[in-house]
Chain A
Amino acid sequence: MKERINRSVLLTVLALLLAAPWLLPAVGFDYWLDILAEILIWSLFAASVNLLFGYVGLLSFGQALFFGMGMFGVAIGVAKLGLGFWPALGLGMVVAVATAAVAGALAVRLTWHYFAIITVVFSLIFYFIALSAKPLTGGDDGTSFSMPPMLTLGESELSLTDQTVQYLFILLVVGFAFFVKYLIVRSPFGMALMAVRENDVRASLIGLNVYFLRWIAFVVAGGFAGLAGCLFALFGRYASATYMFYHVSGEGVVWTIVGGAGTLFGPAIGAALLIVVREELSNMWEHYPILVGIVVILTVIFAPKGLMGMWNALLDRLASPSADGTKKDEGPREAIETAVAPVKGEAGP
């Protein structure tokens, strides 16, 4: 029953997202289409944090680095190199993935707090490089560019300057990325990642190359963050080093934890919720991050599996209204989907 309900919720949300460019103006909320696009992009960014933290057990505070690399790849590609839409997008991805491959080779030698610290350090190093490389990145001012067309057919051209086209393009790319993440999670590779998360010593003893698996996951996660950065650059026609700062990485971690680490859509839900809170509250109350802090603390204490974990637990309870003890033997089939193992501390002896 749980799978059925979750599937119908997912399909409904997907249908609403697809219809949003026509639905929102109809109810007089035109302005929300851009916020929705932004939420989609940041969901993808949170998915990057989640792939590392939720599935491999590596808490990264450096994902903003790859986000920023994607942004600058696109912006510099268009503004400085005169690239078209697709080549610029490609450049952003290549730059982000290459950075992740190099940084990852060093970072995944470490785990836990050491790993978290080195990801912050990497992100700071590149932040200051981006700030000081003024001729290339624009320094404090960043790099802005004008949108090249996505597709030109004779007279007519398709471009993200059309708000609806832009939104649907972002939805399509983010949806595709989440589909790839879904494939990864249910594959043998995804299971190997979870084994590494659960117990890296045991994983190496059954013949898994723990270092290599962590590195691949780091590169894929860097690709997700980079793709989000590319989209955000296209969305804002702009790249800035501020998005490389570890503060941005921290937001991704917060969204992931609140939504539910180690679940497919938890981070997207966390991102959506907290961005809406920001949009609604930041104008009224400048200290609204206090509220976000309280939400995070409450989540960690009362719902360590995040909102998605709470939702799944609720569905489990509805599915078996009898006392809790009776359904023990069936065992939760979704144990992996909902588990947040990294919280339990160092694995293995």
Chain B
Amino acid sequence: MLQIADLTKRFGGLVALDRVTLDFEANVLHAIIGPNGAGKTTLFNTISGMLRSDSGTVRFRGTDISGMAPHRISRLGMSRSLQIKSVFDSMTVAENLWIAAQAREGVMHPFSNRRRFGRTAARVDEILEQTGLEGLRASPAGTLSYGDVALLEIGIALATGPTLLLLDEPICGMGPAETESTVEKIRHLAESVDIIIIEHDMPVVFDLAEWITVMAQGGVLARGTPQDIAENAAVREAYLGDEDDDDEDGEGDGFDA
């Protein structure tokens, strides 16, 4: 579904991605984990077109998308959420979803009333129900709690009707109850959409993912089922070696579970 070959990205002297070669199969819920600075978000940024790679190729469902503009990649059916949550703040929740859904239908209708676009309105209602944001439909996105913004991020990504969803720390900032319900939503979504998720919360990763990719220092350290990864000595070392001491999120927990 998504093939990455020899992908390299440098920031000055820092090699953020070092000839990364990865193949993500369809119909499998993928997770990418790794210590901070491993290059996970850079990988997402390069795949989604926000950053241009220095070399290497990315193929998405057979199309070479290396160097393509983000909006064109998005139109091919790849959608992503951002690590630092960013939505359309002064627009309402419903309007946030509306423009995301309409972006796929085409926005070059400069003289027609947007209320006339029934299919988009129906899509908005559908997403509001899926994300559980119905009660907040008329609230400006800028007034939402952090957890609700994270949900809206997922909703916006979904509204574009993607076939691949890249989620960058979707549950970051959520409380335990919200986390649980969001994990269930992601699991449910995975039945209809391919998902690759970056997450720091190890219990969540090991609960959700069917295939885990571990990154460290711009490269791929290990890949495998959650079982393989939990038993992998190199992974344990990367995490337990120097990362565990300054680890605020309890990242290491998953390995003991």
- A residues in contact (CB < 8 Å) with B: 180, 183-184, 186-192, 194-195, 198-199, 201-210, 213, 328-333, 335-336, 339, 341, 344, 347-349
Contact = CB atoms under 8 A, between A and B. Distances in A.
Contact of A208 (B107, B117, B157): B107
26 contacts: A183-B110, A188-B105, A188-B117, A190-B114, A192-B99, A192-B103, A195-B88, A195-B99, A198-B89, A198-B90, A201-B50, A201-B86, A204-B50, A204-B74, A205-B48, A205-B74, A206-B99, A206-B157, A207-B160, A208-B103, A209-B69, A209-B71, A329-B139, A333-B138, A336-B95, A339-B90
Nearest to B94: A331
Given A201-B50, A206-B99, A210-B71, A189 B113 contact: no
B108 A189 contact: yes
A187 B203 CA distance: 45
B107 A192 contact: yes
B11 interface: no
B88 A187 contact: no
Contacts of B91: 194-195, 198, 335-336
Given A191-B99, A205-B74, A198 B111 contact: no
Contact of A199 (B86, B95, B102): B86
A202 B80 CA distance: 9
A202 B74 contact: no
B198 interface: no
Given A188-B112, A190-B110, A204 B139 contact: no
A3 to B, nearest CB: 14
A331 B138 contact: yes
Given A187-B112, A191-B98, A191-B102, A349 B84 contact: yes
A207 B103 contact: yes
Nearest to B93: A331
A30 to B, nearest CB: 38
Contacts of B98: 191
A347 B50 CA distance: 15
A347 B89 CA distance: 10
Given A198-B88, A206-B160, A189 B82 contact: no
Interface residues of B, number: 45
Given A187-B111, A336-B90, A341-B89, A205 B140 contact: no
B100 interface: yes
A102 B162 CA distance: 35
Given A195-B91, A206-B99, A331-B139, A184 B110 contact: yes
A207 B139 CA distance: 24
Contacts of B103: 192, 206-208
Interface in B4-19: none
Given A194-B88, A207-B160, A331-B138, A184 B111 contact: yes
Contacts of B140: 331-332, 335
Given A192-B99, A329-B139, A205 B110 contact: no
Contacts of B92: 331, 333, 335-336
A208 B96 CA distance: 13
Contacts of B86: 199, 201-202, 347-349
Contacts of A188: 99, 102, 105-109, 112, 114, 117
